[in-house]
């Protein structure tokens, strides 16, 4: 459908985020919502390794990357892909967890992640209170940027690709 462009968009999405292995001396914790088969999570893992993430597990047993998706079958495919790539194996970093869950009703403690990502799964989130009404009624980029700021995020920005067919929004909870 995208002529392979979606791979470039995903790569740029992760490059723009620029995850580093540590934040304030603590291991970075990433939540990839609607992450299904792991495309974004694997890119994040590669980026963390290139940035110097140590191989040894964390002392506190925290998971580095949590992939959350409502579709258990997609998560199983993601786990199989991770195993085939040698990513997220027991005792290695970054560590992975695959969690079945609804993007609109996340079951994680507040402030338990440093990074929250949602890529193309955003089109399936239906309640404006959680993100947007639907992809058919997705607001203009500036309006969505304002919604993110209203939700308490700072340094909010976005980059359009292919004249706005795809956009990457980012913001920081400081």
* Domain ranges within the chain, ordered by starting residue: 5-125
Return the higher-pLDDT residue of 39 and 19. Answer: 39
Q: Which pLDDT band, with edges at 50, 70 and 90, does 145 fall under?
A: confident
111 and 5 Cβ atoms separated by less than 8 Å: no
Q: Which residue has the tokens 């009404």?
A: 133
Between residues 84 and 19, which one has the greater pLDDT?
Answer: 84
Query: Higher pLDDT residue, 171 or 3?
Result: 171
Give the number of other Cβ atoms within 10 Å of residue 10's Cβ: 18
Residue holding tokens 């490059």? 15
Q: What is the mean pLDDT of the chain?
A: 78
Q: What share of the chain is helix, strand, coil (3-state, %, to 5)?
A: 35, 20, 45
> How large a percentage of the chain has pLDDT more than 90?
18
- Pairwise CA distance, residues 1 & 122, whole Å: 18
CATH assignment of 5-125, among 1.10.150.120, 3.30.1310.10, 3.40.50.720, 3.40.50.150: 3.40.50.150
């Amino acid at each position: 459908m995208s002529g392979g462009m979606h791979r470039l968009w995903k790569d740029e999405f992760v490059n723009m985020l620029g995850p580093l292995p540590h934040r304030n001396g603590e291991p970075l914790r990433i939540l990839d919502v609607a992450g299904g088969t792991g495309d974004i999570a694997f890119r994040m893992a590669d980026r963390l390794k290139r940035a110097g993430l140590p191989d040894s597990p964390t002392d506190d047993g925290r998971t580095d990357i949590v992939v959350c998706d409502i579709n258990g079958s997609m998560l199983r495919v993601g786990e199989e892909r991770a195993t085939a790539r040698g990513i997220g194996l027991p005792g290695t970093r970054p560590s992975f967890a695959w969690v079945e869950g609804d993007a609109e009703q996340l079951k994680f403690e507040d402030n338990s992640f440093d990074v929250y990502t949602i890529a193309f799964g955003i089109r399936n989130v239906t309640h404006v209170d959680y993100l947007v009404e639907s992809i058919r009624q997705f607001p203009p980029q500036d309006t969505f940027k304002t919604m993110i700021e209203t939700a308490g995020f700072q340094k909010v920005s976005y980059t359009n690709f292919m004249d706005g067919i795809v956009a990457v929004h980012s913001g920081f909870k400081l």
